[in-house]
Structure 1
């Protein structure tokens, strides 16, 4: 494994690490999402014009509710419908939002029961916020950047990175407020809070983990994050994550070489259901995440581990992994636990 070697072990160890990296990239390629999957799951797609994205116009997205936004239309008006409680409200000025307080359920509704409070579907919300919020900007096609073709490295690995983003509600909608990127060695290559472009309405802390204190003094902007991605990624870099369409919309990134753990590990009941990342991590890695304050690095690492575990399991099952760890004959689960 690449993370098993250090510079002190000499050039041959470095070359072996590079070879392993290229091999892992080749194995991971079989799980890259197809163009059809990117379309159906609401990924931003090349729009035919500079800095603009295109979203599939299909009732399929609304019926299955797998896209990051419940509408294919970009609502740029001041009249909004609250993302949480569904009440109408108006943004009169950047400093004034009508409609009063928002009472809503912050958890998921499963089998007609809200997980946040155990109440029946249709019951009054269990959480109260000071204002209504919207996510209409998630269908804004402007401001996107696109990864480009770059020369392929000697080891054949243009890079594999896992991404997790957090968003908070502003006057403009849902905006990026935190991003973490880790490489295939689980090393953090980028981790930053991000200053939104407009006034904050709700930090969305219960889901994002981002607080007012976290953003104090932060100067990093979305443009700074985009510049880092364009410098680091190429068109062939494999980006890994869970329901990455939402992350790409938050990053305003168009990229087509994607491995999505929600597709690698489909829900037993099929679409529109998707297994939660914490469920997959616990089931396939014996890894328990999201048990306290939300951590974007924890989620990014979990996604990378899930993706690597998938290809390692395939390699192990086909017999290529039987000689791993000095040829000792051991169970697959122990092999994976040792790997991580």
Structure 2
């Protein structure tokens, strides 16, 4: 607690009658408010994500005077933990801030020097962060602050620069400078948009040999589908939970006796992925694994940290998928422009039939304009909309306006009062996956190149077989090969220096934006075209007078980046 607050509650000297306890409390609150106002003048307010992290003290021409603070948690009306625990956590958080600030100090140039924090500013930032969590997340204080410490422990210098840059810009909203200092790649392919379109057939994959990895190239027969349905009924619709691995039953149409959708009670699980703790150099002990969501050890037997109403499951068996809605080949559509290519992404939610399509998005390529973005009402009763990843909430489904084939399937875009926030997109809803698929066929044809990341998931969700597919999972393969794959978020950050799928707040993610994911996949394809075209140019490819790509003559070769005529070894 700072000296300013101590003065507010110190004994009054002899003289007039001391104020009542209520008045004294008001004085304390008033002094705290003034102190926090002065702190706010020197720092921005805590934000909700890694891209806009809680406030820190920014340098000003005339910073407000304030009493120096020590690395000691501030006095609170209701402490969320013991003082010793809070001190230990404050010190751990301060250590990470100090590390990042020291790393920045070694390389800071120009405007970056303004992002450096003094020793006192580092302390105040730490206490601000801890107080924010202690007062707003009292019931989950230990988990929240440990997640915060872990976030900064894993933060790179580039991410720290990005955070400091955003805080600097928020303090100077008139600034027109870049928000981030990360190496964001600008894609210049050296080709026109039409030439890029001409290049796409070189990137199309044959999906037939990829069937073991979930890519479907032929329509399941009706007899096979009947057999798969009979097998599911024979086992009593028993499934394994996708989250907690417990066995349970599902009841399509609800169980007659009590109207329930699934058995075996509620699902307790860990929504966060496992990660390995860093070990000291030379430490050969077994590495500990922890869950990102709550920092519990994998070996603990305490169960999950999150509880859902139902157990859920998914199936990738094409026969079971076809039993809900069978696959079809994309039909020819003469109304679709011949030079159209699209980026495609779907979001899925859990129903009594597994993972079903609940959002369908198509954007043009390479422009990225939205051609189609709708919600989809699934066939089965919903167990969980999987909002953490899909971004679709129950109120989105219930309040959405209906759309049909031939009607308006564009989202309604509503600007926000805050120019830094994305506009609100109100999506319309298709009454079934079949109607959604029919709407999709109004914007693509069998000849349309379809781009996506992990396309087998999206194509299977929409129940379509498309021969003209470009999958960024296959363009940028994992070093260990399929079924391992690089995530879209990872590829965008490592290849293009861009962040996508950023959680809005710790513990309350908004899920993926399928429009953003579709555009991201399209950008990765342009990056591949750029790299492939550079290689082709080195081999002698050129652009013809009509803009066409011209293969090198057999009489010429390329040496040192220049074309030279081949030696006549027979003359």
Q: TM-score range by the shorter chain?
A: 0.7 to 0.9
Asked if 2 retains the 8 angstrom alpha-carbon contact of 1:75 and 1:137, the reply is: no
Aligned partners of 1:191, 1:35: CA distance in 2, in Å?
26
Q: More strand by proportion, 1 or 2?
A: 1
Match of 1:147 among 306, 310, 330: 330
Asked if 2 retains the 8 angstrom alpha-carbon contact of 1:160 and 1:238, the reply is: yes
Asked if 1 retains the 8 angstrom alpha-carbon contact of 2:489 and 2:500, the reply is: yes
For the residue of structure 2 that corresponds to 1:106, the secondary structure is coil
For the residue of structure 2 that corresponds to 1:182, the secondary structure is strand
Q: Does 1:161 align with 2:342?
A: yes
Match of 2:270 among 87, 90, 105: 105
How far apart are residue 211 of structure 1 and its match? 0.6
For the residue of structure 2 that corresponds to 1:80, the secondary structure is strand
Asked if 2 retains the 8 angstrom alpha-carbon contact of 1:138 and 1:250, the reply is: no
Alignment of 1:191-270 (within 5 A): 191-218=373-400, 219=402, 220=430, 221-270=432-481
Asked if 1 retains the 8 angstrom alpha-carbon contact of 2:376 and 2:433, the reply is: yes
1:11-60 per-residue CA deviation (whole Å, 9 max, x = no partner) reads: xxxxxxxx94442223121121123443132122212658x99xxxxxxx
How far apart are residue 235 of structure 1 and its match? 2.0
Aligned partners of 2:517, 2:299: CA distance in 1, in Å?
31
Q: Provide the TM-score with structure 1 as the length reference.
A: 0.74
How far apart are residue 317 of structure 1 and its match? 4.7
Aligned partners of 1:152, 1:203: CA distance in 2, in Å?
34
Aligned partners of 1:229, 1:183: CA distance in 2, in Å?
13
Aligned partners of 2:388, 2:333: CA distance in 1, in Å?
39
Match of 2:372 among 187, 190, 210: 190
Task: Tell which deviates more after alignment, 229-238 or 191-200.
Answer: 229-238
1:141-178 per-residue CA deviation (whole Å, 9 max, x = no partner) reads: 24222113456989x63x31111111111122211111
Could you tell me which runs of 5 or more consecutive residues in structure 1 were left unpaired when the two chains were aligned.
1-18, 54-70, 324-340
Distance 1:74 1:262, change over 3 A: farther
Distance 1:160 1:121, change over 3 A: farther
Q: Which has the higher contact order (CA 8 A, sep 6+)?
A: 1
Asked if 2 retains the 8 angstrom alpha-carbon contact of 1:137 and 1:172, the reply is: no
Larger Rg: 2
How far apart are residue 238 of structure 1 and its match? 1.2
1:120-153 per-residue CA deviation (whole Å, 9 max, x = no partner) reads: 4454323211111122476322422211345698
Q: CA RMSD in A?
A: 3.2
Quote the residue 2:305 is aligned against: 126
Q: Does 1:314 align with 2:473?
A: no
Distance 1:153 1:206, change over 3 A: closer
Aligned partners of 1:37, 1:125: CA distance in 2, in Å?
39
Distance 1:153 1:78, change over 3 A: closer
Quote the residue 1:29 is aligned against: 201
Match of 1:295 among 493, 513, 523: 513
How far apart are residue 231 of structure 1 and its match? 2.6
Q: Provide the TM-score with structure 2 as the length reference.
A: 0.46
Asked if 1 retains the 8 angstrom alpha-carbon contact of 2:361 and 2:515, the reply is: yes
Distance 1:45 1:241, change over 3 A: same
For the residue of structure 1 that corresponds to 2:378, the secondary structure is coil
Distance 1:108 1:273, change over 3 A: farther
How far apart are residue 267 of structure 1 and its match? 1.4
Asked if 2 retains the 8 angstrom alpha-carbon contact of 1:138 and 1:173, the reply is: no
Quote the residue 1:80 is aligned against: 239
How far apart are residue 322 of structure 1 and its match? 11
Quote the residue 2:523 is aligned against: 305
Distance 1:281 1:171, change over 3 A: same
Asked if 1 retains the 8 angstrom alpha-carbon contact of 2:219 and 2:328, the reply is: no
How far apart are residue 311 of structure 1 and its match? 0.4
Aligned partners of 1:310, 1:208: CA distance in 2, in Å?
27
Quote the residue 2:51 is aligned against: none
